[in-house]
A and B are shown apart, each in its own frame.
Chain A
Amino acid sequence: MASVEQGKQAIMLNKKYKAGLLNFLSAQGILVFFLICMFAFSLFSEQFLSQSNIMTVVRQASIIGIIAVGVTVVIIGGNLDLSVGSMLSFSTVLVVDLHDKIGPAGAIILMFVLTLLIGAVNGFLIGFMRLNSLIVTLAMLSAIQGLVLIYSGGKNVDIANQSDTWFAFFGRGYVLGIAVPVILFALLAIIVQVVMSYTSYGRRIFAVGGNPAAAVYSGIRKNWCVFSTYLISAFCVACAALVLGSRVMGSQNNVGQGYELLVLAGIILGGTSLLGGAGSVWKTIIGVLILGFIQNGLLLLGYPYYTQWLVTWVIIILAVWLDLANKRKRLFTTHS
């Protein structure tokens, strides 16, 4: 019984071992691509692989990276979060504006609370009301942008005495020679990766993203799971806002506009499927770093900053396409 299936599996397993290296490479395609890119850029610019340049890139990528870590969890849970861009504007404006009014500690706490509250609204609408996450977060994107403008009256905000506040630590500080944003990024990434891979909570999120109905029929509280992913995403946005506000010491009221796209681009490039139930924070980090290094490399080669957008266009589609082609063992679809 079912020996055909077994035969198929046995042969496939066998093949897997034989072609181990090749399979490994194709499975890690994006990592290989990353290394090739690094190598290519280093040929043209001596500066590229210097320690200081690498640290600069990682530091610059850390804000998108921090947000992407949170959004990765939302996507693994089977949903999308497009509202992170305007949420970043909201949180940054808030923390910068409140800094001079109630002091840095109060500002940070209040900003975290309110950002989590927005995350909770997202989570409630998508988790408990079971609304489509794409449209809800699209609506929230515009609603939050409106809130920011109402709050700031359309004006930009900044911190008056920029050199004399410990608030600067989060965006400009260094610990053991490593920039604080990078440390925050790494810390968040490691914690979230551990949670997703080694805890029962992570297992539940994968289940909910993989098959929501089956998760519910298995006794998993799906609503809470989805809700919690948006809290994680909001928490990550709040951390990013802390870094951004502290680095710039001021904020335009649309500072986060478009971040949702860069975050998604990084996640997709890393190879996390938008369908849910699969993916990892590691992949996201690689995706975000690739975008960061391409931006940096192109600048070092003397191209204007917007050429990176053209490159992003090509490599996002290439990355997903090649991944798909590898799975279906065929470059193009066959239907007409």
Chain B
Amino acid sequence: MINMKDFLKGSGFIQPIWVFVIAITVFFSFMSEYFLSVGNLSNILVQTSTIGLIALGMTYVMINGNIDLSVGAVLGLAASLSVGLQDYGITIAVIAALASGLVLGAINGLIVWKTGVNAFIVTLGAMIGVRGLIFVYTEEQSFYATNFAFSDFGAASIGPFPVLAIIFLVCTLVMHLVLKKTGHGRNTFAVGGNPEAALDAGIRIGRHMMINFIIVGFFAALAGVLLATQMGAATPNLGRDYELWTITAVVLGGTKLTGGYGSITGTLGGVLAIGILRNGMNLMQVPAFYVLVILGAILISVLIIDQRLNVHASKGVSI
């Protein structure tokens, strides 16, 4: 069964997370008639689009060998700005919100690049600090959108396809192509896979890192704006724990924390796995609490499977 092993390792055509996605899809379609309906499927895409968008950027940052813990807070700030600034017009509010993501991403990236402080620490600080910014800006108030054009956007569809789902899928495609085909995408792999070698080869590792932090900041902000359109509101605590969900999705998709390895297709699988599990269990009327436990268990199982496969692949002593 050598092929089986290759297959599970993802060196084959289909990534293991997609096998899992298909398996739970089949499972839930037996458990609930409604599950495979077009309405429910696009529902899943809409529900996952928030985490999904951030996960796209997070994949870049993690392949690059870094991590961004501040995405939840950036999402919260962008959501608050996009609702809170609507007196100046929706366009300005949305632009300001997206710009906040770009700026915060740039700040994170610049600090990681110029100071050499570990990204985990830099973004842990930002995670706490940006939440502070939200509270300073909102003074602990929730904002409600008074302009219905804004909240209508979150529920809009083009034909049978919800706009949010389309945005998510288009972004996924673009991010996939950029990672696979462009100089920036390939250098992102190089920097994460062997920073020393990348540096010697003249790759500007700091710039690539910063660009990736800007990308993830932008997607976190975009997710925040879209989430606000869905809710027609923004609360100061919006986005708490989103970094956990995002990292979970990316790791489920096979991207390695150590950098240099991962894919957007895998991340899409990871995002869908979480979305389908939540949605399916909801349809089966399992309380949301159990989803937390089950997702934790799945994440650990994935780690165990991954490790087993790698231990047998290398002949070295596992320490």
A residues apposed to B, CB below 8 Å: 125, 129-132, 134-136, 138-147, 149-150, 154, 212-213, 216, 222, 257-258, 261, 264-265, 268, 274, 304, 306-310, 312-314, 316-317, 320-321, 324-325, 328, 332-333, 335-336
Contacting residue for A317 out of B115, B297, B303, CB 8 A: B115
Residues of A within 8 A of B144 (CB): none
Contact (Cβ within 8 A) A138 B247? yes
Interface of B (DSSP majority class):
helix
Instruction: Quote the shortest CB–CB distance from B49 to chain A (angstroms).
Output: 20
Residues of A within 8 A of B125 (CB): 265, 312-314, 316-317
Contact (Cβ within 8 A) B124 A265? yes
Contact (Cβ within 8 A) B292 A149? yes
With A149-B289, A216-B319, A310-B129 known as contacts, the answer to whether A138 contacts B124 (CB < 8 A) is: no
- Does B299 lie at the interface of the complex (its beta carbon under 8 Å from any beta carbon of A)? yes
Q: What separation, in Å, do the CA atoms of A138 and B69 have in the docked complex? A: 12
Contacting residue for A146 out of B130, B205, B291, CB 8 A: B291
Q: What separation, in Å, do the CA atoms of A129 and B319 have in the docked complex? A: 10
Residues of A within 8 A of B132 (CB): 306-310, 312-313
Contact (Cβ within 8 A) A333 B124? no
Other A-B contacts than A328-B116, A333-B116, 16 sampled, CB-CB below 8 A, are A125-B300, A131-B304, A135-B247, A139-B296, A143-B297, A147-B293, A150-B293, A265-B128, A310-B136, A313-B126, A313-B132, A317-B111, A317-B125, A324-B116, A325-B115, A332-B114
- Does B122 lie at the interface of the complex (its beta carbon under 8 Å from any beta carbon of A)? yes
Q: What separation, in Å, do the CA atoms of A325 and B204 have in the docked complex? A: 21
Smallest CB-CB separation from B245: which chain A residue? A142
- Does B161 lie at the interface of the complex (its beta carbon under 8 Å from any beta carbon of A)? no
Instruction: Quote the shortest CB–CB distance from A82 to chain B (angstroms).
Output: 9
Contacting residue for B292 out of A143, A213, A308, A335, CB 8 A: A143
Contact (Cβ within 8 A) B121 A320? yes
Q: What separation, in Å, do the CA atoms of A320 and B115 have in the docked complex? A: 9
Contact (Cβ within 8 A) B127 A139? no
Interface string of B95-139 (1 = CB under 8 A from A): 000000000000000010111111011101111111111011001
The number of residues on chain B lying at the interface, defined by a beta carbon within 8 Å of a beta carbon of chain A, is: 54
- Does B290 lie at the interface of the complex (its beta carbon under 8 Å from any beta carbon of A)? yes
Residues of A within 8 A of B319 (CB): 130, 212-213, 216, 222
Contact (Cβ within 8 A) A131 B204? no
Contacting residue for B206 out of A140, A265, A336, CB 8 A: A336
Residues of A within 8 A of B294 (CB): 146
Interface centre among B114, B127, B300 (most CB of A within 10 A): B300
Contacting residue for B289 out of A154, A309, A312, A333, CB 8 A: A154
Q: What separation, in Å, do the CA atoms of A122 and B38 have in the docked complex? A: 41
Residues of A within 8 A of B318 (CB): 130
Q: What separation, in Å, do the CA atoms of A212 and B247 have in the docked complex? A: 26
Residues of B within 8 A of A306 (CB): 131-132, 135-136, 140
B residues apposed to A, CB below 8 Å: 111, 113-118, 120-122, 124-133, 135-136, 139-140, 199, 204-207, 240-241, 244, 247-248, 251, 257, 287-297, 299-300, 303-304, 307, 318-319
Residues of A within 8 A of B130 (CB): 313
Residues of A within 8 A of B293 (CB): 142-143, 146-147, 150
Residues of A within 8 A of B120 (CB): 274
Instruction: Quote the shortest CB–CB distance from B89 to chain A (angstroms).
Output: 29
Residues of A within 8 A of B257 (CB): 132, 134-135
Residues of B within 8 A of A324 (CB): 115-117
Interface centre among B139, B204, B293, B307 (most CB of A within 10 A): B293
8 A-B residue pairings within 8 Å (CB atoms): A138-B244, A143-B293, A149-B287, A213-B319, A310-B129, A332-B115, A333-B116, A333-B206
Q: What separation, in Å, do the CA atoms of A146 and B291 have in the docked complex? A: 7
Instruction: Quote the shortest CB–CB distance from B175 to chain A (angstroms).
Output: 23
Contact (Cβ within 8 A) A139 B300? yes
Contact (Cβ within 8 A) B111 A310? no
Q: What separation, in Å, do the CA atoms of A309 and B113 have in the docked complex? A: 23
Contact (Cβ within 8 A) A129 B113? no
Smallest CB-CB separation from B301: which chain A residue? A139
Contacting residue for A135 out of B129, B240, B299, CB 8 A: B299
Q: What separation, in Å, do the CA atoms of A313 and B205 have in the docked complex? A: 25
Q: What separation, in Å, do the CA atoms of A139 and B252 have in the docked complex? A: 11
Contact (Cβ within 8 A) A335 B126? no
Q: What separation, in Å, do the CA atoms of A182 and B9 have in the docked complex? A: 51
Residues of B within 8 A of A310 (CB): 129, 132-133, 136
Smallest CB-CB separation from A305: which chain B residue? B135
Smallest CB-CB separation from A131: which chain B residue? B303
Contact (Cβ within 8 A) B303 A313? no
Q: What separation, in Å, do the CA atoms of A139 and B295 have in the docked complex? A: 7
Residues of A within 8 A of B292 (CB): 142-143, 145-146, 149
Instruction: Quote the shortest CB–CB distance from B287 to chain A (angstroms).
Output: 7
Contacting residue for A268 out of B116, B121, B139, B290, CB 8 A: B121
Q: What separation, in Å, do the CA atoms of A320 and B117 have in the docked complex? A: 7
